[in-house]
A and B are shown apart, each in its own frame.
Chain A
Amino acid sequence: NAGVTQTPKFQVLKTGQSMTLQCAQDMNHNSMYWYRQDPGMGLRLIYYSASEGTTDKGEVPNGYNVSRLNKREFSLRLESAAPSQTSVYFCASPPGFGPGTRLTVL
Chain B
Amino acid sequence: AQTVTQSQPEMSVQEAETVTLSCTYDTSESNYYLFWYKQPPSRQMILVIRQEAYKQQNATENRFSVNFQKAAKSFSLKISDSQLGDTAMYFCAFMPPNTGNQFYFGTGTSLTVIP
Contacts and interface: CB of A to CB of B under 8 A. Distances in A.
Interface of A: 29-31, 33, 37, 41-43, 45, 48-51, 56, 88, 90, 92, 94-97, 99-100, 102
5 contacts: A31-B101, A48-B100, A49-B100, A50-B100, A92-B103
Contacts of A90: 45
B102 A45 contact: yes
B13 to A, nearest CB: 21
A90 B95 CA distance: 17
Q: State which size class the interface on B falls in.
A: 10 to 19
A37 B45 CA distance: 11
Contact of B100 (A31, A95, A100): A31
Interface of B: 33, 35, 37, 43-45, 47, 50, 91, 95, 100-103, 105-108
**8 smallest A-B Cβ distances: which pairs?**
A50-B100, A97-B45, A31-B101, A42-B107, A94-B101, A31-B100, A43-B105, A100-B43
A88 B43 contact: yes
